[in-house]
A and B are shown apart, each in its own frame.
Chain A
Amino acid sequence: MERGVVKGMTKPEYEWTWKELPVGNVILEPGNASQYRTGDWKTLKPILNKELCVHCGLCYIYCPDMAYHLDEEGYFIADLFYCKGCGICSKECPTGAISMVLEEEK
């Protein structure tokens, strides 16, 4: 599913008027939590040093937000749309390949 465009979703939540909301604010589309950008909560972001990475996948396993995915080269990469910057991946990485850096420091 393409991120940010869930089938059936007409517009983001900040565009809904009070008259348009379903009664009781129920959510009628299953699975639209995937549109929720938790990535803007973070102050630190994970940076992978590919030279140290042993492809063990512990970052992927431990990530509480399932933000990690396997890329075409076989590296596990955090999707910053979801990553909250908790740093668990960095803590668990057995080779110290993931460092947490301030997000502003691009």
Chain B
Amino acid sequence: MEVSIAAAEAVKQCNVDVISAYPITPQTHIVEKLSELVANGELDAEFFCVESEHSALSVCVGAAAAGARAFTCTSSQGLALMSEITYIASGLRLPMLMILANRTLSAPLSIWNDHSDAMMIRDCGWIQFFVENGQEVYDHVFISYRLGEDRSVLFPVIINMDGFILSHVIEPIELIEQEKIDQFLPPYQPLYRLHPDRPITMGAYALPSIFAETKKAQEVALRSSMPKILEVWKAFGEMTGRYYSPIETYKTEEAETLLVTMGSFGETASVAVDQMRKEGRSVGLVKIRLWRPFPFEAFKKATLHAKQLVVIDRAISVGACGPVASEIKAALYGEPVRPFIYNFVAGISGRDVAPSDFIKMVDKAEVEIEEGNREGFEIYGVRE
């Protein structure tokens, strides 16, 4: 099954009320499939064909404010146009789901995959997952709605899935019976909603005298959603046998060098780790699945024993370094003993990164760190 079709199937199984999206590669198959499901009566939802992504997310905000379960989906430039509304959805604490089929931001114009779009809205206040394969995309649709709609959470959720690399591949995906979903995901019961019987105001102007209090409430709430995230993953695991965690480790036991990846890199990198382990090298892999709220404690637990981290970013903060690397450096800074960090930016604009590339990156990082380069940062594989 194509991963995009599985994603659409999951959205259908969540019995959403409102779908609002504007087509953009490589997100297209998801909404195409959903519009088909609505048109042929398989899904009883309002499908809004809007004139832009700005409107697409605005419709979702309005729908969620009225108490509906809303879904949207976009990529790259589409997300750029939506970005204004991403902050509004989270500031108003309106649960909804966005699947982001990650694609490079122009210029130069590119339709292929990297994480530059996701990093553009890193600070938008949504719960943000980066998934590794099609099964995780499918599973996280249910997880996201249950989590975001929980009264103790009330946040919109983004599932980042690598464009093309995940969105357009065909994978075996285990679907879940509808009865199980209905049990796992109860109907959405909004805390506040716009209704004439009980008028309230959402999105009012806030003076400087109250803005900081509002932001702190939002910040603390997003941070405090961590136990609920773990709880929902656990409940999902009990239902399906597929258990997820914010940080996943692979062969990290006593590893001197750890690769750190986010998104679909994880599967390729694990092949590279197998190969290096077979050669007797002390290398493991750490995969970040939860990007916001950032799992500081779990990350430290997974990495502090290592001698060095080779952090592979799929985006670049021009003039600084990879955004994942800068996050990790900040996370570990307070530790008296911490691993060295070598940062590669790789696979931007969809350039293939094979297992052999991960091995080359580990080789290079180990040599550089050995020679005393403690601030390593480079774009991998660039022709000189």
Contacts and interface: CB of A to CB of B under 8 A. Distances in A.
A24 B94 contact: yes
Contact of B210 (A16, A23, A24, A28): A16
Interface residues of A, number: 15
Contacts of A19: 217
B39 interface: no
Contacts of B214: 18, 21, 25
B94 A18 contact: no
A74 interface: no
A14 B199 contact: no
Contact of A24 (B192, B199, B212): B192
B35 to A, nearest CB: 30
B213 A17 contact: yes
Contacts of B382: none
Interface stretch (B158-166, B200-208, B332-340): B200-208
A13 interface: yes
A13 B209 contact: yes
A98 to B, nearest CB: 29
A27 B203 CA distance: 9
B154 A24 contact: yes
B91 interface: yes
Interface in B159-214: 191-192, 199-202, 204, 206-207, 209-210, 212-214
B209 A30 contact: no
A23 B217 CA distance: 8
Contacts of B217: 18-19, 21, 23, 25
A22 interface: yes
A60 B200 CA distance: 29
B200 A30 contact: yes
B331 interface: no
A14 B202 contact: no
Contacts of A25: 91-92, 204, 206, 210, 214, 217
Contact of B199 (A13, A17, A21, A30): A30
B69 interface: no
A24 B213 contact: no
Interface string B78-107: 000000000000011110000000000000
Given A21-B213, A26-B200, A13 B207 contact: yes
A65 B138 CA distance: 52
Contact of A14 (B93, B201, B210, B221): B210
Given A16-B213, A17-B213, A23 B192 contact: yes
B330 to A, nearest CB: 24
Contacts of B199: 30
Contacts of A24: 91-94, 154, 192, 202
B383 interface: no
A17 to B, nearest CB: 6
Contacts of A27: 200-202, 204
B216 A26 contact: no
Interface string A8-38: 0000011011110111111110100000000
A103 B269 CA distance: 70
Interface string A68-94: 000000000000000000000000000
A28 B154 CA distance: 17
Nearest to B210: A13
B220 interface: yes
A24 B95 CA distance: 11
Contacts of B192: 22-24, 26, 28
Interface centre among A18, A23, A24 (most CB of B within 10 A): A24
Contacts of B94: 24
A1 to B, nearest CB: 16
Given A13-B207, A18-B220, A26 B202 contact: yes
Contacts of A26: 92, 192, 200-202
A103 to B, nearest CB: 20
Interface of A: 13-14, 16-19, 21-28, 30
Given A23-B191, A28-B192, 10 more contacts: A21-B213, A21-B214, A22-B192, A23-B192, A24-B94, A24-B202, A27-B200, A27-B204, A30-B199, A30-B201
The 6 closest A-B pairs by CB, nearest first: A24-B93, A27-B201, A18-B213, A14-B209, A18-B216, A24-B92
17 contacts: A14-B207, A18-B214, A18-B217, A18-B220, A19-B217, A23-B191, A23-B192, A23-B217, A24-B93, A25-B91, A25-B204, A25-B217, A26-B92, A27-B202, A27-B204, A30-B200, A30-B201
